[in-house]
Amino acid sequence: MASLTLDRLRKVFSSEGDDGIVAVDDVSIDIEDGEFIVLVGPSGSGKSTILRLLSGLEELSDGEIYVDDTPIGDVKPKNRDVAMVFQNYALYPHLTARKNMSFGLRMRGELSDEEIEQRVDHAATIMGIEELLEKMPNELSGGQQQRVALGRAIVRDPKVFLMDEPLSNLDAKLRTTMRTEIQQLQSELDVTTLYVTHDQTEAMTMGDRIAIMNHGELQQIATPLEAYYEPANVFVAGFIGSPSMNFIRMSASVREDGVVFEHPEFDYETSGTFREEWDAEREDVLVGVRPESIQLAEPDTPDGITVTVTVVEPLGKERLLYFTLGDETYIASVDGRTLVSEGQEITVRFPESQLHVFDPDTGVAVQTPEAPSDGDGEFPSQLNL
């Protein structure tokens, strides 16, 4: 297969009389041969534009794209040896599934009819759609149409797969099924894949690594666990994880036995270990704690904080508790069997080992918790959600 390199990609959409809109700004990513990379971010962050640049559907404003060590930025789309799967399937409504899958190969005219049919049959077997080959698109369900679209990409035998939110039109149950199928397919074919989604669950469960985008800029590229436990900045910390991380603006003072974070409602004292890693010049900080890290405690717990629950959201396996500190509302995620009522006073604690600290001006992470490893000091690739 092939490695894929994005070298300082930049795309500006401009019209006469303005400076243009920067859709992709200086994005560099090195993707190894056979690696599955997920581009994730909110709408308008530049994810799909990057795929369009890679496929040749958009021209680069600056930068270069390499497949292995060959630059392809000026290569015509049909000669780039990449296959793209779209959100809306893009099947020809007047052609059977078989003819949809073979259409691109026939237009290229490089293979015999026999070779084309062999490729189609092989791809259909991989996707489990042999019995659908003679059906028209309007006779197929959404999931079946997406399998045909994936099969059409497989018959190309490309060096790189590009997938632009291929599951977003499917219902939740089918998305879960197709998510697993795409992972298995990519593993079996061992094709370098760049997958775009706005769904963090897809990103966290599918990607070998995930690239988090915002406003056209690459915020962080990391394994799912690294992004969760060691976010590079406030945006990544708030985007990865559901419910989002709680952020508490506090002031910090350094003492011999630790660092004290001060808030109008409470003080939080850390240990000497925390103090050893602390930047002594920092006074104002943004402390982050994930809802699932917040613990319920006994009223007399030394580091406990008494709060009043304003809203309770029972979700089965978990229960979300909303509470306020000052003028801000925060969320704790507790076991679904925990019985707490609206208006009830509870005591919560923020485990020191789970605290994130950010610079409030730049948003850059100052300290993050230690992430679990797979036993040899490396992060496991994916989260099991």
Q: Which of 363, 341, 138, 372 is nearest to 231 (CA)?
A: 363
Residue 268 near residue 304 (C-beta atoms within 8 A):
no
pLDDT tens for the 385 residues of the chain, in order: 799 999 999 999 987 657 789 999 999 999 999 999 999 999 999 999 999 999 999 999 999 999 999 999 999 998 999 999 988 878 999 999 999 999 989 988 889 999 999 999 999 998 889 999 999 999 999 889 989 999 999 998 899 999 999 888 888 888 888 899 899 889 988 999 999 999 999 999 999 999 999 999 999 999 999 999 999 999 999 999 999 999 999 999 888 778 899 999 999 988 877 777 776 567 899 999 999 999 999 998 888 999 999 999 999 999 999 999 988 999 999 999 999 999 999 999 999 999 999 999 999 999 888 777 655 555 555 554 4
Burial 320-341 (b: 16+ CB within 10 A, else e): bbbbebeeeebbbbbeeeeeee
Tokens for 178, please give them: 């197709």
Using the structure block, give the residue that is written with the tokens 């092989």: 122
Residue 292 near residue 335 (C-beta atoms within 8 A):
no
Q: Which pLDDT does position 385 carry in this prediction? A: 44
CA 283 to chain centroid: 32
pLDDT in tens, 53-107: 999 999 999 999 999 999 999 999 989 999 999 888 789 999 999 999 999 899 8
Q: Which pLDDT does position 15 carry in this prediction? A: 73
Q: Give the other-Cβ count within 10 Å of 245's Cβ.
A: 24
Q: Taking all residues of the chain, what is their mean pLDDT, rounded to a whole number?
A: 91
Ramachandran angles phi, psi of 111, nearest 5°: -125, 155
Is the bond preceding 243 in cis, omega lying within 30 degrees of 0?
A: yes
| 166 burial level (CB within 10 Å; 0-12, 13-18, 19+) | buried
Q: Which pLDDT does position 381 carry in this prediction? A: 53
Q: Which pLDDT does position 172 carry in this prediction? A: 84
Tokens for 148, please give them: 């045909």
Q: Which pLDDT does position 355 carry in this prediction? A: 93
pLDDT in tens, 127-171: 889 999 999 999 999 889 989 999 999 998 899 999 999 888 888
| 303 burial level (CB within 10 Å; 0-12, 13-18, 19+) | middle
Q: Which pLDDT does position 88 carry in this prediction? A: 82
3-state secondary structure 7-61: EEEEEEECCCCCCCEEEEEEEEEEECCCCEEEEECCCCCCHHHHHHHHHCCCCCC
